[in-house]
Amino acid sequence: MPSYLSTLLALGALGNVATAANIYTYTRPGCQGCGFFAKDIGPNVCALTITGTANSTKEAITRGLTTVQSGKLQAWNPGQKHFLSWGAGPDKNDDGPLQCGTVQTDAPVTQHETCISQPATGFSWYEAGNDGKKRDVKKCTSTKEVDGIVGPDGTHYSLSGASAEDAAAMKDLAANGASEVPANMDKYKVSSD
């Protein structure tokens, strides 16, 4: 018979799977080709993609390196989720116009994967809930930069632990639609799960 603690831990893990989602962004329309990913992103978190080399988020915004052409939400439990594409501003912070500042598209999530094919500076998701409280359920409360890239064959590569030079090279590969990822980047391969 399982202990009370192990049962609680298992139920907690199931709860995380039910609310976990991945966001993919692409420099081409149609959510295809090379791209970027943010794993296990929570609700109301702006997925920010910096598609080139920049010393800061502020520099990336100034240079226009945050616009992508499409985004995809991968949700294990669609529930009542909505996937949002965002345009910049009008509100600002120290980095410049908020990249998840103006909602462009609000797409109900009805399947495991939902694609929005339009230029955007950020993507997020929310789940309205049925608690009857009035609040801005769409507004992003934080920002997360991508965790890695997706190669042309669908292989995932993590930016975590990569040298600045390798991370920049991988971002360039994804942003420019590379036909292959060099073998020296194999050390950054990660599971797509």
> Domain for residue 15, yes or no?
no
Using a 10 angstrom Cβ sphere, with 0-12 exposed, 13-18 middle and 19 or more buried, the burial of residue 111 is exposed
Asked whether residue 6 is assigned to any structural domain, the reply reads no
Sheet strands (E) in 56-178? 70-75, 81-87, 92-93, 96-97, 102-108, 113-116, 122-127, 142-145, 148-150, 156-158
Neighbouring CB atoms inside 10 A of 169's CB total 19
Would you state the pLDDT for residue 131?
58
- Pick from 10, 11, 38, 6: which is nearest to 24 by CA? 38
- Domain count within the chain: 1
Does residue 138 sit within a domain?
yes
Range of the domain at 106: 21-190
Read off the pTM: 0.85
Q: Of residues 33 and 94, which shows the higher confidence score?
A: 33
| In a domain? residue 117 | yes
Whether the CB-CB separation of 70 and 110 falls below 8 Å is answered with: no
Task: Write the pLDDT tens digit of every residue in 38-81.
Answer: 999 999 999 999 888 888 888 888 888 899 999 999 998 888 89
